[in-house]
């Protein structure tokens, strides 16, 4: 009971964080869930449902600010990435001769994402524009990351800093991209990992309610943050996430 209450409080505050700066909440909640919940595949599956609600709420709240071109490019890559995830799961199941995907776990992607973030923010040439299909490429990798790691937000977040768009557009578009990914991986976990979702509705329903309330509360605070400060905080949080992902190499649990 105490653990469930702690998860509900964490869900509220992490969705509140994401509503204000567009990121950070999802991967923070993922880390907390990984500590409390014993099965890694269930953490990713249930985190996906919770984050789908959180992101679809932000998508609706910022629906007038979504950059449709970015979303379209990302979506094309995402579909290919998810199909690649399915192919990888089937290959691993057959190779290791296991009953379902719940019997294996892939952690190598976490530190790789951390390396990519650090490179994008601090090591690449700042005067060099990102490639035209960057969102499509990252959409593809997000399709892999969202299934095997759970939080693809840090992978695409740096691209938004390279675009000359408002903070509302960053949050709304990024939320729409992530909502689609979380939604499409639900049948993957149902079919390949035997996750029914309904069996734990008493746990999931309060968490979903908490992220919905937290997102709307965070939206009311966003307008009070100046554009320049928002992007500075966005970059700082992204850097801290990258460091945490790199540290995951040396930690037993995320």
User: How many CB atoms sit inside 10 A of residue 125's CB?
Assistant: 6
Instruction: State residue 38 phi and psi, 5-degree precision.
Output: -75, -35
Residues in the chain with pLDDT values less than 70: 1, 38-40, 104-109, 127, 249-254
**CA neighbor of 117 nearest in space, from 160, 168, 81:** 160
Question: What per-residue confidence (pLDDT) applies to 127?
Answer: 67
Cα atoms in the Cβ-side hemisphere of radius 13 Å centred on 231: 15
Question: What per-residue confidence (pLDDT) applies to 150?
Answer: 82
Question: What per-residue confidence (pLDDT) applies to 171?
Answer: 92
Question: What per-residue confidence (pLDDT) applies to 96?
Answer: 83
- Per 3-state DSSP, what percentage of the chain is helix, strand, and coil (rounded to 5)? 80, 0, 20
Segments making up each domain of the chain, as ranges: 2-250
Contact 7, 207 (CB under 8 A): yes
Question: What per-residue confidence (pLDDT) applies to 107?
Answer: 62
Cα atoms in the Cβ-side hemisphere of radius 13 Å centred on 9: 6
**CA distance to 23, 126, 254, per residue, from 115 (Å):** 18, 17, 16
Question: What per-residue confidence (pLDDT) applies to 79?
Answer: 97
């Amino acid at each position: 009971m105490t653990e469930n209450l702690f998860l509900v409080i964490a869900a509220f505050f992490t969705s509140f964080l994401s509503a204000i700066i567009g990121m950070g909440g999802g991967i923070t909640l993922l880390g907390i869930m990984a500590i409390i919940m014993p099965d890694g595949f269930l953490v990713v599956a249930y985190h996906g449902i919770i984050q789908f609600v959180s992101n679809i709420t932000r998508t609706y709240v910022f629906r007038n600010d979504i950059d449709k071109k970015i979303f379209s490019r990302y979506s094309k890559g995402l579909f290919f990435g998810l199909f690649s995830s399915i192919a990888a799961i089937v290959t691993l199941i057959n190779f290791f001769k296991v009953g379902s995907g719940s019997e294996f776990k892939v952690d190598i992607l976490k530190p790789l994402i951390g390396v990519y973030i650090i490179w994008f923010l601090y090591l690449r040439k700042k005067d060099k524009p990102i490639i035209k299909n960057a969102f499509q490429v990252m959409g593809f990798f997000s399709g892999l990351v969202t299934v095997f790691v759970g939080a693809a937000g840090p992978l695409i977040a740096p691209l938004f800093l390279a675009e000359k768009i408002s903070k509302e557009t960053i949050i709304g578009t990024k939320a729409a991209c992530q909502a689609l990914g979380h939604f499409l991986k639900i049948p993957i976990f149902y079919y390949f990992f035997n996750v029914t979702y309904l069996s734990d509705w008493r746990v999931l329903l309060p968490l979903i309610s908490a992220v919905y309330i937290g997102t709307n509360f965070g939206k009311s605070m966003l307008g009070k943050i100046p554009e320049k400060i928002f992007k500075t905080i966005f970059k700082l949080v992204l850097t801290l996430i990258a460091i945490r992902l790199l540290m995951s190499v040396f930690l037993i649990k995320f």
